[in-house]
Structure 1
Amino acid sequence: MSDWGPVFISVVLFILLSPGLLFQIPGKHRLVEFGNFQTSGVSIVVHAIIFFGLVALFLVALGVHMFIG
């Protein structure tokens, strides 16, 4: 059996935490901007740190597993 938990969690978090798609931290004019479809180097770094923290939380600390088949 294959463990699809890490793949599913990583893809969902990647889509949700893409800078500028749903929100951007920090924004160009405010701390948080929603749906502006723009990005900056600082926001890429901030979103990468948030992504790493959430992936580590879900996969290492909570141990999310999904078995198919």
Structure 2
Amino acid sequence: MGNDRVPVVIGVVLFVLLTPGLLFQLPGRKRAVEFANMQTSGISIFIDTILFFGFITIFLIAIGVHITSG
């Protein structure tokens, strides 16, 4: 077990940024993209889940982001 906390930090940051309705909602209720409307829908949750999975895969597996200590 190492002290590699970067994957956890990246996961938390992506989770917060991709929360539907916080920064943006894709698709929005009236437009394709709405910003800071604090609302959500089922399709918006699904799209944000796909985006989260894609970004976390790119950052953690493809690029191999990590920090080791000690």
Bin the TM-score by the shorter chain: over 0.9
Instruction: Give % identity.
Output: 58
Q: Which stretches in structure 1 are left out of the alignment for 5+ residues?
A: none
TM-score (structure 1 length as normaliser) = 0.94
Matched length: 69
On the 8 A contact 1:5/1:67 being kept in 2, the answer is no
The runs of at least 4 consecutive aligned structure 1 residues that moved more than 3 Å come to: none
Query: Which is strand-richer, 1 or 2?
Result: 1
- Any residues of structure 2 matched to 1:13-24 within 5 Å, and which? 13-24=14-25
Q: Which stretches in structure 2 are left out of the alignment for 5+ residues?
A: none
Which has the higher relative contact order, 1 or 2, with Cα contacts under 8 A spaced 6 or more apart? 1
* SS of residue in 2 equivalent to 1:3: coil
